Amino acid sequence: MFNVFVSYSRADSAQAAVLDAWLTSQGLRTFLDRRELGAGQLWLPDLERAIETEAAALIVLCGPGGLGNTQQYEAQLGLTRKAREPDFPVVPVLLPCTPDWRWPRGFLSLQTWVSFATTRDVREDPAALQRLAAAVRRESAEADAVRGLVCPYKGLDAFQEEDGGLFFGRAVETEALHATIAEHRFAAVVGRSGSGKSSLARAGLLPRLRAGAQAAGRREVWDSLVLRPGQEPLVALAGALSPPLPGEDEAARYLRLRGLAAGLRTEDPDVLSGLLRHRLAQSRLAVDRLLILLDQGEELFARPLHLLGDAAAQRRFDADAEYLIALLLKAVSQGSASLVLTMRSDFFDPLQSSAFGDMLKGSLVTLRRVGDLRACIEGPAEAVGLRFAPPGLVDRILEEVGTDESNLPLLQHALKRTWEGRDGAVLSANAYIRSGGVEQAINRAAEACFAGLRADEAALNELASALRSNVVLFSEYLERGRQSTATNNGKSE
């Protein structure tokens, strides 16, 4: 038997080792996978047994890179046990230098959090270490205030997988996306900017897959790769395949990924399929399914601004984008992976004209107005013990949002500002009005930011210079987007 199971991402191995050593020094027996699991054996049965029956508590370490694939599965096992045994401690632990947008909001229903986020090393906060030990031992201790500092609304940030517990209002679309992937192994999520495409894939589909859909009488175990094409699509793919090495700085990582990207530029279209098969074969978690999420896929068809004046660089970018598409489709066709693509609807025409076009029939999931917008507003508040007052406030917010699905980021931002002005557990009409509401919250935040810039003349001059130097390129970029939108007017989304 173990006092505590330590769940951590490989990127956070060093901090996990420090916490493990400290907990052991306090007389606690810890389950740390690299010590308790034998070399070469499959981990899944042992992980399940340790969390479901052998460990008296679970701590989930969240670092700057978020939760890892195995952690998502471990956390789900722990929360399932907690639903069965309410006294079972599941404790999110924020590691040093973890930004607030990475804090796992899906755990906000849990009462005990421990944070080292403002430190450089967990040993710098002895009080937090003592709170952690007390939580593991199920002892009464001073409540950690961090849970009350985590907003249940995402503002302008997309939902991440670990935010799934606060993702409301898209249940129908989540099931449609899950069914599409199950049938075709490919799905394209298309919608207007701000309609929640990334959030649906990350916080809707991924938790749904990991929840353990039954296939042929057995539990499916999913791995996932998430990439955004960005300015160098093959470097992005290399980054998804190869996580940061311990102690690796950004410059070293970029140079290493460029080398891996060069290795992907072969005449062998099976190279990615081979890498993915190897990844599954080497997994000690007994992973049998792999999902690739190609997020913001429109970046494959919109050349980066800095390339617009360089014809040769544009050709290289286009070739890499086309090659990435070919690699992904080959992996899907060979059964090595399933693929979800998110795409802005104003880029639907180039999507249809690309190699993806033949895959779209029966595989298109279109996002329009949220069917249950009230749940988007009330669900996160109720999950953490907040309420709106007066009761008619939610109706007012719904009226301001209207029927335009692209207002969702404005809604989330206004709710985040309302939360910042809350009165205890009450999200009041006064706080909502002070935020500016759906229509003005962004404007007020921008005005406050600009006011800060005006106080810093050097920063303001630097911004003005940068805007002047890029105005021509930006105009060309907007014109490209306008032409694409015009091409698609009249097409059904």
Q: Looking at the domain assignment, is residue 147 inside a domain?
A: no
Q: What is the pLDDT of residue 481?
A: 47
Q: How far apart are the first and last CA of the chain?
A: 55
Q: Looking at the domain assignment, is residue 489 inside a domain?
A: no
Please, are residues 93 and 60 in contact by the beta-carbon 8 Å criterion? yes
Q: Looking at the domain assignment, is residue 164 inside a domain?
A: no
Q: What is the pLDDT of residue 203?
A: 92
Choose one of 137, 154, 180: the last residue of a domain.
Answer: 137
Give me the phi and psi of 290, to 5 degrees please.
-130, 130
Q: Among candidates 390, 371, 429, which has minimal Cα distance to 175? A: 371
Choose one of 137, 162, 186: the last residue of a domain.
Answer: 137
Contacts of 280 (CB under 8 A, 6+ apart): 223, 287, 288, 290, 336
Integer Cα distance of 294 and 282 in angstroms: 23
Domain CATH code at residue 225: 3.40.50.300
Question: Are both 67 and 130 inside the same structural domain?
Answer: yes
pTM of this prediction exceeds 0.75: yes
Q: What is the 3-state secondary structure (H, E, C) of the chain?
A: CECEEEECCHHHHHHHHHHHHHHHHCCCCEECHHHHCCCCCCCHHHHHHHHHHHECCEEEEEECCECCHHHHHHHHHHHHHHHHCCCCCEEEEECCCCCHHHCCHHHCCCCCCEECCCCCCHHHCHHHHHHHHHHHCCCCCCCCHHHHHCCCCCCCCCCCHHHHHHCCCCHHHHHHHHHHHHHHCEEEEEECCCCCHHHHHHHHHHHHHHCCCEECCEECCEEEEEECCCCCHHHHHHHHHCCCCCCCCHHHHHHHHHHHHHHHCCCCCCHHHHHHHHHHHHCCCCCCEEEEEECCHHHHCCCCHHHCCCHHHHHHHHHHHHHHHHHHHHHHHCCCCEEEEEEEHHHHHHHHHCCCHHHCCCCEEECCCCCCHHHHHHHHHHHCCCEEECCCHHHHHHHHHCCCHHHHHHHHHHHHHHHHCCECCEEEHHHHHHHCHHHHHHHHHHHHHHHHHHCCHHHHHHHHHHHHHHHHHHHHHHHHHHHHHHHHCCCCC
Q: What is the pLDDT of residue 212?
A: 61
Question: Are both 356 and 260 inside the same structural domain?
Answer: yes
Sheet of strand 338-344: strand arrangement: 222-227, 289-294, 338-344, 186-191, 364-366
Question: Are both 398 and 470 inside the same structural domain?
Answer: yes
Q: Looking at the domain assignment, is residue 449 inside a domain?
A: yes
Question: Are both 123 and 221 inside the same structural domain?
Answer: no
Question: Are both 352 and 393 inside the same structural domain?
Answer: no
Q: What is the pLDDT of residue 490?
A: 38
Q: What is the pLDDT of residue 493?
A: 33
β-pairing, 387-389 vs 426-428, is parallel
Contacts of 193 (CB under 8 A, 6+ apart): 344, 346, 406
Choose one of 332, 366, 400: the last residue of a domain.
Answer: 366
Q: Which two tokens stand for residue 320?
A: 């890499």
Q: Write out the residue range of the structural domain in which residue 123 sits.
A: 2-137
Q: Which two tokens stand for residue 126?
A: 């002895």
Q: Among candidates 68, 57, 60, 63, which has minimal Cα distance to 116? A: 63
Question: Are both 117 and 253 inside the same structural domain?
Answer: no
Q: Looking at the domain assignment, is residue 491 inside a domain?
A: no
Domain CATH code at residue 45: 3.40.50.10140
Question: Are both 197 and 275 inside the same structural domain?
Answer: yes
Q: How far is CA 43 from CA 35, 36, 50, 81, in A?
A: 12, 10, 10, 19
Question: Are both 131 and 181 inside the same structural domain?
Answer: no
Question: Are both 112 and 206 inside the same structural domain?
Answer: no
Q: What count of Cα atoms within 13 Å lies in the side-chain half-sphere of residue 279?
A: 22
**Amino acid, res. 262:** A
Q: Looking at the domain assignment, is residue 411 inside a domain?
A: yes
Q: Looking at the domain assignment, is residue 159 inside a domain?
A: no
Q: Residues 273-310: pLDDT tens digits?
A: 888 888 887 776 667 788 999 999 999 998 787 777 77
Question: Are both 180 and 242 inside the same structural domain?
Answer: yes
pLDDT beneath 70: ranges in the chain: 38-42, 141-147, 212-219, 267, 284-286, 450, 452-493
Question: Are both 11 and 73 inside the same structural domain?
Answer: yes
Q: What is the pLDDT of residue 463?
A: 61
Question: Are both 189 and 305 inside the same structural domain?
Answer: yes
Q: What count of Cα atoms within 13 Å lies in the side-chain half-sphere of residue 15?
A: 27
How many domains does the structure of the chain reveal? 3
Q: What count of Cα atoms within 13 Å lies in the side-chain half-sphere of residue 331?
A: 28
Integer Cα distance of 459 and 450 in angstroms: 11
Q: Looking at the domain assignment, is residue 49 inside a domain?
A: yes
Give me the phi and psi of 32, to 5 degrees please.
-115, 120
Q: What is the pLDDT of residue 464?
A: 63
